[in-house]
Structure 1
Amino acid sequence: MTKIAIIGGGLAGLTAANILKDHAQVTVFEKSRGVSGRMSTRYADPYYFDHGTQYFTAKSEQFKEFLKPMIDNGIVKNWQANFVEIKDYKIINQKLWDNQFEHYVGTPKMNAVAQYLAQDLQVHLNTRIGSVTSLDNQWLVNDENHNPLGKYDWIIFAIPSDQLSELLPQNISFYDQISSIKMNGCFSLMLGYDKSINLGFDAALVHDDIISWVSLNSSKPERNTPSCLLIHSSNQWADNHINNNREEILEIIFERAKKILNIDLDNPQYKTLHTWRYANIQKQNIPNYFIDINQNISACGDWCIKGRVESAFTSAFMLANKITNVL
């Protein structure tokens, strides 16, 4: 049976794995301690935060069909948030997200989506890939310590383009295209309180040079937690300060948030910053996935289309079906 290694346990990698598992022996390698990628959840009992993806929408019929079992099983629910836009420290727009156009979240945490998709897969966690090397018409996969992890007939990379360019052999047909694709960063500030935080809204798109998003994570469905406030920086500001001192970054975002929200945010019981070096990307004019048929190596991800959850699914869905047709 054909052996396929999928490098990356986010939505793209897990989508491809689920499509291919009935046609090949599939192994997923994930560098973190859990699957999910940017759809992960940060735990700090009693607080937890969806500190990457805030919500996702579904436009294509394929993605709606993909989500249906998770919706039916209560793993995905609609977030009926009181949504606002903020500019110049004032609310300029306000509306209630309703059932006319769903804004989905994983329940009871965002990472529930990936955990559901991974349940029947062979997944190796805490495994950072160091190299893939062509050997006897197969691919030898090695971890970062040069330990061999097996030989595979196909490789699927489902990791951010910047990380892919470091692992992809230079003789692959799409190497030059990948090396020119750059993703944007984002800082995620997480604040936990034992007091009730009333923002006057649940989620906000913020037009500001430092902050782009504010949400009360505890306002999402089935989040029976104390007040958990999540603040995202703008991509441009993160890119300009990605290597700066983290404590300074945290305090700058925290102080700006207090000014924008105009409420008492002092003395949180939990306060931390996460850096997403590869958080997002603007709409791309490149293939929806990459494949070198002659060398049995490929890549997919939201970065092929646009930095959205549905883009990750679409890229992986199209690639996996292409590989299925050539197996």
Structure 2
Amino acid sequence: MKLAQIKISTLDLAPIRADGGSAQALHNSLALAQHVENLGYTRFWVAEHHNMDGIASSATAVLIGYLAAGTRSIRVGAGGVMLSNHSPLVIAEQFGTLETLYPGRIDLGLGRAPGADAYTARALRRRHVGNTDDFPQDVEELQGYLGPLTADQRVIAVPGSGTQVPLWLLGSSLYSAQLAGEKGLPYAFASHFAPRLMHEAIRVYRNHFKPSAVLAKPYVMLGVPLIAADSDEQAEYLATSAYQRILALLRGQSLLQQPPVASMEGLWLPHERQAVGEFLGLAMVGGPEKIRAKLELLLEQTEADELIFTGDMYDFADRLRSYQILAELR
């Protein structure tokens, strides 16, 4: 499939700058959603993170409501909610409410991992710490709350019941790929931070796919880091902000966005440079023609149905420009 034929979407982490704050990050998220909506993007997702000083999307459902209220037609959703952190009923009520307020525009992507350390997970669930082994049962329970009301159903999500909020399974390994296939759900692979198993996960998902009431054939979306600029040199310079943030993540340091630097030399050790490179192995960094060539190769290799892009750049104007460049390539 060619670049002009596939859907393109945005995954935003509501990044907090070193010289900014949460309010600025959240306002920027809405401005970015409005920007990509005008450019024809299909969906705008935000991701659940906790206990991270550089990411403002912790109250994911609340943020989605803010984004949906400030846009007109773009689909808005979670990419994703980490289901082990929450009661399925609470998620059904939250996203059932969103779907009731903004019908036909809400997506619910579900992740299996807690996405946080044990202390944070315990703080989220208090007495009951979610177990990733419960994920298939939790997904099934959630589907029940969002589906048609049954005669013997004793617990009802209000709002939620009957809303049929579209569910996606997300993953960076093979587990969710197989489960998504078996349940006949769309699958989004987290290749924006864990590209190593991408091809194998796609194969597993497609091989295990069973048609369902919501999906007749497999549907694959891939996460892609995007740092597009008017020249390759400018893009490489802007990318150093992303490199610094991943380096800080690996070191357990503050994740506040740092401004770009002329060179990363002296900032990382050789093994850290390699680790950052593996983390961002699928990153699209460059000017328009370089981005086009890399994306066309990715589509040729994966036959993905949709690409969802995340752009970690310090200056908000550079982020807007990056998504504009991508839209102009189609």
TM-score (norm 1): 0.30
Larger Rg: 1
Structure with bigger helix share is 2
Relative to its length, the structure with more strand (as a share) is 1
Q: Taking CA–CA contacts closer than 8 Å with sequence separation of 6 or more, which of the two structures ends up with the larger relative contact order?
A: 1
TM-score, normalised to structure 2, is 0.30
